Amino acid sequence: MWVIIGGAGAIGFYMAWSIGSNDVANSMATAVGAKAITFKQAVIIAGVLNIVGAVFVGGRVTGTVRSGIVDVTGIPSNLLLLGFIASLLAAAFWVTLSTWKEMPISTTHSIIGALIGFGLIAGGTSSVMWGKVGSVIASWLLSPIAGCILAFLIFKLIVKTIFAKDEPVKSAKIVGPIVIGFTAFLIVSSLFLKTPLSENYSISEVQGLQIAAAIAVIVVIMALFMFRKIQAKGADDYFTVERIFRKLQIVTSCYVAFAHGANDVANAIGPVAAIIPLATTGVLGDTVEVPMWLLAIGGIGISLGCMTWGRRVMKTVGSRITSLTNTRGFSVDFGAATTVLIASKLGLPISTSHTVVGAVIGVGLARGLEAVDLSVIKKIIVSWILTLPIAAGTCVAIFLCLRAIVG
């Protein structure tokens, strides 16, 4: 029993490492691409905040991946065990290959595609919960659109409220802290609204919102104080504004890392959360408690992936789709993170990769179609289309091999 749990945990950890190596670009590529922080700073920040997001907000999405894709009734427990293990391996292999090719694919597509492949081979078409799969696929389509629109609007808002003003630096010193305060409100409220933290400390939703609002006000005051000494420099006002947003972009990159850990930890830990009760009791119930330690393992795996192999995909997202300044990178981060965090609170395992790439395209389009490298986008979309069928097919092959070995 413990051998099975340990093996599943190790494979889940490998999947989490793969996610970190591919998806670190989602949280930190824009900050590195716009030179707000160095690569070493990026992976440390991303590592820590992925763990925090995974542990405190990741449970809801994990439940969807664990039991919302395949109808397990009628599938023997031994086949379920093999299926979830095969799903993890198949998804992790594809993510690792894509990272090697420097393509920002969807790890969410990978694991759900693998689960669909397992469901089809183990129980036929009736075992796949197509209604839930349909809502997840719809969220995959909507997430890049939402990220694109939000990033586009944020960038246009920055242009209108700062760059179009007679004194852009003075405007940036007011608008910037307000946006950062709103970011702080979103992050803190997500920590206290229907999460293990709020349950452990008996914090109601109203109290959670009050705490978030209080912290947001403190953040605004701190930002106003921090920027008070920055002065306009005449012809260099544009660069002064970018310097302000270089500091602000660090905060929004942290926001993306937190949101990423909250959503994508499910891709590694969801199947493992199903394997534990199967190995211990032989039954997968309707609801299973996702242990905090399991979420932590997923977060740590993502962090190590960030640190060891994250640079490869970061180059594609950070500089190859469109050129990024700090104001553009800020807009990408804010639009993408808000989309992902809302989806996490709703329990939807959306694609962080799709959302961030959509946001990058949105910022590029704000400057005109010629500002976007369509050849790079074409390659990314092709890799997205291939992800689901390849993950499903690989899972079927691994499942059949494991079933033949076990007998």
pLDDT tens readout for residues 216-226 = 999 999 989 88
Instruction: Output the pTM of the full model.
Output: 0.77
Lowest mean pLDDT among 50-64, 102-116, 220-234: 50-64
Distance CA 356, CA 365 (A): 14
Mean pLDDT within 30-47 = 78
Backbone phi and psi for residue 279, each to the nearest 5 degrees, phi listed first? -75, -35
**Is there a contact between 140 and 112 (Cβ–Cβ < 8 Å)?**
no
Q: What is the pLDDT of residue 152?
A: 92
Q: What is the pLDDT of residue 289?
A: 63
Tens digit of each residue's pLDDT (9 = 90 or more) over 347-372: 776 777 788 888 888 888 887 766 77
| Local confidence band at 50 (pLDDT 50, 70, 90 cut-offs) | confident
Domain ranges of the chain: 2-406
Distance CA 92, CA 5 (A): 18
Distance CA 66, CA 269 (A): 8
In Å, what is the CA distance from 256 to each residue of 27, 108, 147, 246, 338? 5, 16, 12, 15, 8
DSSP helix/strand/coil, 128: strand
| Contacting residues for 349 by C-beta, under 8 A, at least 6 apart | 61, 64, 65, 108, 112, 136, 139, 263, 266, 267, 343
Q: What is the pLDDT of residue 64?
A: 56
**Is there a contact between 266 and 238 (Cβ–Cβ < 8 Å)?**
no
Measure CA of the first residue to CA of the last residue in the chain; give whole Å: 17
235 pLDDT above the threshold of 70: no
**Rg of the chain over all Cα atoms, to the nearest angstrom:** 21
Tens digit of each residue's pLDDT (9 = 90 or more) over 91-102: 999 999 988 888
In Å, what is the CA distance from 65 to each residue of 81, 133, 273, 353, 400? 15, 10, 9, 17, 22
Determine the residue type at 57: V
Distance CA 336, CA 188 (A): 17
| Local confidence band at 288 (pLDDT 50, 70, 90 cut-offs) | low
DSSP helix/strand/coil, 70: strand
Residues in a beta bridge with 128: 70
Q: What is the residue-averaged pLDDT of the chain?
A: 81
DSSP helix/strand/coil, 288: coil
In Å, what is the CA distance from 102 to each residue of 222, 302, 359? 39, 17, 19
143 pLDDT above the threshold of 70: yes
Residues in a beta bridge with 70: 128
Higher per-residue confidence, 103 vs 207: 207
| Local confidence band at 271 (pLDDT 50, 70, 90 cut-offs) | confident
Specify the residue for token string 């039991």: 67
Token pair belonging to 170: 């003075």
Q: What is the pLDDT of residue 285?
A: 59
Lowest mean pLDDT among 164-168, 238-242, 320-324: 320-324
In Å, what is the CA distance from 136 to each residue of 22, 70, 349? 21, 13, 7
Distance CA 177, CA 162 (A): 13
Mean pLDDT within 295-308 = 80
Token pair belonging to 406: 């076990």
Specify the residue for token string 């790079």: 376
